[in-house]
Amino acid sequence: MKNKCTITNKIREHRFFANEMTQQQLAEIAGVSRQTIIAIEAGKYSPSLELAFKIANAFDVKIDQIFIFKMEVNHND
Amino acid sequence: MAYKEKKTITTIVTGIAVLTAYCCYSFGSTIAASDTDAILKQQAVTMLKFIGIGIVAMIVIQILFHILYSISLAVASQIKTGNCNDKEIEKMIELEVIEDERDKIIELKSLRIGFVFAGIGFVSALVWLVMDGSPIYLLNIIFIAFGLGSILEGFTRLYYYSR
């Protein structure tokens, strides 16, 4: 049995509803570079808990409204 | 391409240039000394010289790169908006230069690969010595392994940034 964990996010959606906030603006609020925001948004990099909270705070929402954790259990293995 | 990727490319190019210069100097020059101890001492002096040259070259090129990058940002801002505000440029540079958790992770991963390569080179040099190889080449193998390890570290960093 092998578990596959995936973390998706809704940053793009929240940026849109936050008056089309730019990646640069979000990066400034979170205290990271724009490249990091791009990587997180594309799902290529999973942020630390601290950064995830900072991003959630930037949109004034709870962390689970931005980041969605999914665990697929594969019973075949 | 982002600031950090460009900076990494300049580091790689500097590393390759210094290592190539070392190889040309070291393998191209004739050895004046006759006994092994004197040759080893001569090699060590050459290596120390090139370590110094490498450090100075790296600092100078990084400073030049930073200046040129700032100028290019100012020119781009001038073309785009029509005015060039120093404070805005400074802010843009600050945001690009900022080192965050992703940079630290990439640095750690690339350093590990660089050190593994350098370690393999070191072990290979010891194996070379055990197999009755010349101690003069031992020093060169170690030095080149560390140089290549540093270049490989740069390429790994580029790979992780572009991923």
Q: What confidence tens digit (pLDDT) does each residue in B75-133 have?
A: 887 787 777 677 777 777 777 778 889 999 999 999 999 999 999 999 999 999 899 88
Question: How far from A73 is each of A1, A3, A4, A7, A8, CA to CA, in Å?
Answer: 7, 5, 6, 15, 17
The ipTM value here is 0.82
Mapped onto helix, strand or coil, the DSSP state of residue A7 is strand
Q: Is B88 on the interface with A (CB under 8 A)?
A: no
Q: Is pTM, for the whole model, over 0.80?
A: yes
Query: Is B102–A33 a contact, with Cβ atoms under 8 angstroms apart?
Result: yes
Residue B147: pLDDT band by 50, 70, 90 thresholds? very high
Question: How far from A56 is each of A35, B63, B70, CA to CA, in Å?
Answer: 18, 37, 32
CA of residue A19 relative to chain centroid, distance: 18
Mean pLDDT over B142-149 rounds to 94
Average pLDDT, chain B: 88
Looking at the DSSP bridge assignments, the partners of residue A71 are A5
Q: Is B87 on the interface with A (CB under 8 A)?
A: no
Residue A1: pLDDT band by 50, 70, 90 thresholds? low
Query: Is B2–A48 a contact, with Cβ atoms under 8 angstroms apart?
Result: no
Could you please report the per-residue DSSP string of chain B? Answer: --HHHHHHHHHHHHHHHHHHHHHHHHHHSPP---SHHHHHHHHHHHHHHHHHHHHHHHHHHHHHHHHHHHHHHHHHHHHHHS---HHHHHHHHHHHH---HHHHHHHHHHHHHHHHHHHHHHHHHHHHHHTT--HHHHHHHHHHHHHHHHHHHHHHHHHHHH-
Would you say how long chain A is, in residues?
A: 77
Q: Which residues of A touch B102 (CB under 8 A)?
A: 32-33, 35-36, 39, 45
Nearest to B100 among A24, A36, A44 (CB): A36
Q: Is B108 on the interface with A (CB under 8 A)?
A: no
The pLDDT of residue A77 is above 60: no
Q: Which residues of A touch B100 (CB under 8 A)?
A: 31-33, 36, 51
Would you say how long chain B is, in residues?
A: 163
The pLDDT of residue B16 is above 80: yes
Q: Is A32 on the interface with B (CB under 8 A)?
A: yes
Q: Which residues of B touch A41 (CB under 8 A)?
A: none
The pLDDT of residue B2 is above 90: no
